[in-house]
Structure 1
Amino acid sequence: MGRRRTALLAVGAATVMAIGTACGSGGPAAAGASAWALTGGDEQSIRSSFDSWNEANPDTAINPEFFANDAYKQKIRTAIGAGGAPTLIFGWGGGNLRSWVDADKVANLSEVAPDVGALTDRYLPSVLDTGTVDGNVYAVPNNGMQPVLMYYNTKLFDRIGAQPPETWEELMALVPRFNEEGIAPFAMAGQSRWPQLMWLEYLVDRIGGPEVFEAIAEGEPGAWSHPAVLEAGEKIRELVDAGGFADGFGSISADSGADAALLYTDKAAMYLMGSWAYPSIKDAAPEFIENGHLGHTAFPTVAGGEGDPANIVGNPANYWSISAEANTDERQAALDYLDRGLMNDDYVDTLLENGSVPPVQGIEEELAAADDSEYLSSVYETASAAPHFELSWDQALDPNQADEMLATLEQLFNGQVSPEQFSSTMDATIG
């Protein structure tokens, strides 16, 4: 890793000089360079990176602020629309990024940096692709890869003498067994809505394969009424009606961490969540992980389904974009940081120490030497080898359609609409 980054830094130094010329200023950045990011997950790694950067580079310092997930999504949408975005914009790629590009709200890194390869060559191509629009790079990864995994409490499985489910039938058979012991089969933060989406994403993929969502994303008429979507909705209702989720799941917020706490306090047996949950659990309950009580497995298969069981959903990573409205000095400060501060050796080491998997090429030795090597190597291999890594639908779709999807999906989970009504409502959003 060190030898590889030595070469990158040499290129990076030249790139920084070129960037200064391209931006029209070789002077120091203004103190106003800023960044907004999320609390939880990789927050500590991102904080540490900025702290180190600012200490070593006071003339190009960046001032970060951190927000809870749900609050941030509203705040950044308002700020971008009003022309008040931070210099570095935290995002997910996909539909949101395209909307920012179409509105000329984020800088084209392929044009701003004469040698964009110095910014991008370190990343796994499949992850970098999510920050690319029409062949141009508008965003680069800023934290670990985030496939959605099925976490489980090994103590609770041992208590009932069970193994983690490999099929949907096995999953449903576990529900009454855990309920009989007074244990919620699954933790769920229904108030936040987006955790419910993971169930729909995986079920649609397992039943119909990735082509089903590809048709939805392309806006094909009636795509939401595909049999795989309808069957996925039926299975969601089946699980809810069987008591699959913790009591009162509709009032639990992901931002508070109450859903993860159900797992590590032995109140829930399983937890479908992105891999950002691991560093959060490690921070909140390190002994739970140290004692081997946290297991993880793939989402179950569905009988007769067409999807590859190795397919995954989630976020390839989160991303930094640079606001197109940043002034010259702010932009250069951001570019300097992306070139020399982001995913350097120290950043990679910090992510690994905190239980997150960097989306960087050639780090197998670092993974093997890490404290959580078995888990980290598993996530790296899962994400790198997946035949299909589907971006979370609320990020892949147009923001307005994604809002309608989350609201209607919440109604499906709550029994306010049927699977057929969910599909017809969403079909009406196409176009």
Structure 2
Amino acid sequence: MLKRTLWLLGMVLLIFTTACQGSGDSSASGDSEGGTTLTLWHIETGPSEQALKDAVKRFEDSHDGVKVKIVQQENDPYKTKLSVAMGGGTPPDVFHSWGGGWLEKFVDAGQVADLSGDIDTSRFVPSALTPATFEDKNYGAPLAMDIVPVWYNKEMFDKYGLEEPETYEDLLNIAETLKSNDIIPFSLANKSKWPGSFYYMYLAERIGGPELFNEAFNREGRGFDDEAYVEAGKKIQELVKMDAFPDGFNGMNFDTGQSRQLMYAEKAGMIIQGSWMLGTTRADMPDFEKKMGFFLFPSVEGGKGSKQDIVGGVSPVFSVSEKSKHKKLAKELVKELTSKETAQQLANEDGAISAVKDVEYEDEYVQKISKVLEQSEYLQTFYDQTLPPELAEAHLDTTQALFGLSMTPEEAANKVEEKAKEVLK
């Protein structure tokens, strides 16, 4: 009882403190001297951040007396900060999301404004609208889409006579060759858990097929304790035991670039990351771009999934807080943030695949990524964005535990399934 009382007091203090601090960067909205100020929270960096700044400038220029306070957040702490701001009644007017279960929890709590009728949904790729559509109402406008390939060092592959793999066995042979030449096969910074989730999602899909997740999520057929998930966990632990990752990878920070730096320094040969890797590399280490290639995660022998099935998602999706004092203006800001002009800039300067229709890709690299998305047979959205928050947390925690060899594949799968029975109806 004492522990619970102390915990409740701590949460009250956290919300109170954040609400007080929020007057600086999380106020719902307010009036500045001579006009109105809106607050925008996002997690973009590099060229994509600049595209948002340019969109805000256009918005301000066309709305006299209106200013936008832009607050760029680090990816990993962002979810917690926004949750606390929402709970404390001090959310930003416009905020970044990925749609899915994470956004839905705020929608269910009445904290997100309905954008139905305020945005022209015909301007967007239909599949990009789905993650922010609940009960036929739209709560977010998408700007970009991502795929998650395996990025690799082309020069390194040429040096050691390696080719893009067709099968998972081929991929393991590549890893062994790199290891034998004192090169880390896969660069991974997994402190924030989601980078390791890519391996689990791909392996489970390649083994169990594209309907595996849908059956488990919809509670129709196989569950999260299916043998395909167990086998995926076993393959992850086989990679760990063969030293396929950097020392201490479960404690390495993705946001500070630890995994990317190993690629740039040519200490690692491959990294499984989203298509945002292109724009990030151009900002971090532009000279490395010419060495970069990518391939889709290969098929697993005997598995039901295809090499043309990809993991991906929609981000950013921009939503408006229900508590915004200037919802009409905030919705206008969302329109500019997701305009064709913004999408075009993001595509050509950050390598983003547009969620907005009729964008022309000047960049050959982006054309190639876009073609992969067009030719894909199935898109598996990110588990941690699609699942309800409590279940997403169970998935991330157990996946990190698999990488840390502190939980067996059976235990991990069973734990997620137990949580699914509690959370999913």
* Superposed CA offset, 1:311-354 (max 9, x none): 11121332011101111xx2122111233453232541343122
1:407 pairs with 2:403: no
Q: 1:30 offset after TM fit, Å?
A: 5.5
Partner of 1:35: 40
Superposition pairs of residues 348-387 of structure 1, within 5 angstroms: 348-363=344-359, 366-367=360-361, 370=362, 372-373=363-364, 375-387=365-377
Q: 1:99 offset after TM fit, Å?
A: 1.2
Partner of 2:190: 190
Structure 2 vs 1, CA of residues 263 and 236 (structure 1 numbering), >3 Å: closer, same or farther? same
Partner of 2:181: 181
Q: 1:150 offset after TM fit, Å?
A: 0.7
The TM-score, its normalising length taken from structure 2, stands at: 0.87
Partner of 2:409: 419
Q: Is contact 1:198-1:272 (8 Å) kept?
A: yes
Partner of 2:291: 293
- Could you tell me how far apart the structure 2 residues matched to 1:138 and 1:339 are? 13
Partner of 2:316: 318
* Superposed CA offset, 1:193-247 (max 9, x none): 1100001111111111121111222246971111111111111111111111122
- Could you tell me how far apart the structure 2 residues matched to 1:384 and 1:317 are? 17
Q: Is contact 2:215-2:222 (8 Å) kept?
A: no
User: What secondary structure, in the 3-state scheme, does the structure 1 residue paired with 2:123 have?
Assistant: coil
Superposition pairs of residues 85-100 of structure 1, within 5 angstroms: 85-100=91-106
Q: 1:56 offset after TM fit, Å?
A: 4.0
Q: Is contact 1:108-1:137 (8 Å) kept?
A: yes
- Could you tell me how far apart the structure 1 residues matched to 2:35 and 2:375 are? 43
Partner of 2:329: 333
1:344 pairs with 2:340: yes
Partner of 1:15: none
- Could you tell me how far apart the structure 1 residues matched to 2:198 and 2:337 are? 32
User: What secondary structure, in the 3-state scheme, does the structure 1 residue paired with 2:149 have?
Assistant: strand
The aligned amino acid for 2:315 is: A
Q: Is contact 1:175-1:243 (8 Å) kept?
A: no
- Could you tell me how far apart the structure 1 residues matched to 2:50 and 2:225 are? 42
User: What secondary structure, in the 3-state scheme, does the structure 1 residue paired with 2:254 have?
Assistant: coil
Structure 2 vs 1, CA of residues 221 and 349 (structure 1 numbering), >3 Å: closer, same or farther? closer
- Could you tell me how far apart the structure 1 residues matched to 2:398 and 2:342 are? 43
The aligned amino acid for 2:45 is: G
1:140 pairs with 2:135: no
Q: 1:304 offset after TM fit, Å?
A: 1.0
- Could you tell me how far apart the structure 1 residues matched to 2:312 and 2:82 are? 21
1:226 pairs with 2:226: yes
1:250 pairs with 2:250: yes
* Superposed CA offset, 1:75-94 (max 9, x none): 01111122221111210111
Partner of 1:309: 307
Percentage identity across paired residues of the two chains: 30
- Could you tell me how far apart the structure 2 residues matched to 1:402 and 1:171 are? 28
The aligned amino acid for 1:127 is: A
Partner of 1:9: none
The aligned amino acid for 2:317 is: Y
Q: Is contact 1:83-1:325 (8 Å) kept?
A: yes
- Could you tell me how far apart the structure 1 residues matched to 2:208 and 2:58 are? 46
Q: 1:163 offset after TM fit, Å?
A: 1.1
The aligned amino acid for 2:72 is: F
- Could you tell me how far apart the structure 1 residues matched to 2:346 and 2:194 are? 28
Partner of 2:158: 158
- Could you tell me how far apart the structure 2 residues matched to 1:350 and 1:195 are? 23
Superposition pairs of residues 386-397 of structure 1, within 5 angstroms: 386-397=376-387
Q: Quick one: which of 50, 53, 56 aligns to 1:47?
A: 53
Partner of 2:76: 70
Q: Mean alpha-carbon deviation: is it higher for 174-183 or for 348-357?
A: 348-357
- Could you tell me how far apart the structure 2 residues matched to 1:405 and 1:30 are? 45
Q: 1:49 offset after TM fit, Å?
A: 1.9
- Could you tell me how far apart the structure 1 residues matched to 2:313 and 2:114 are? 21
User: What secondary structure, in the 3-state scheme, does the structure 1 residue paired with 2:410 have?
Assistant: helix
Q: Mean alpha-carbon deviation: is it higher for 338-347 or for 303-312?
A: 338-347
In the alignment of these two chains, the number of paired residues is 388
User: What secondary structure, in the 3-state scheme, does the structure 1 residue paired with 2:164 have?
Assistant: coil
- Could you tell me how far apart the structure 2 residues matched to 1:184 and 1:57 are? 52
- What are structure 2's unaligned runs of at least 5 residues? 1-33
1:106 pairs with 2:106: no
Q: Is contact 1:206-1:305 (8 Å) kept?
A: yes
Q: Is contact 2:110-2:322 (8 Å) kept?
A: yes
Structure 2 vs 1, CA of residues 346 and 230 (structure 1 numbering), >3 Å: closer, same or farther? closer
The aligned amino acid for 1:36 is: W
- Could you tell me how far apart the structure 2 residues matched to 1:304 and 1:46 are? 45
- Could you tell me how far apart the structure 1 residues matched to 2:412 and 2:221 are? 15
- Could you tell me how far apart the structure 2 residues matched to 1:69 and 1:179 are? 31
Partner of 2:419: 429
The TM-score, its normalising length taken from structure 1, stands at: 0.86
- Could you tell me how far apart the structure 2 residues matched to 1:126 and 1:428 are? 30
- What are structure 1's unaligned runs of at least 5 residues? 1-28
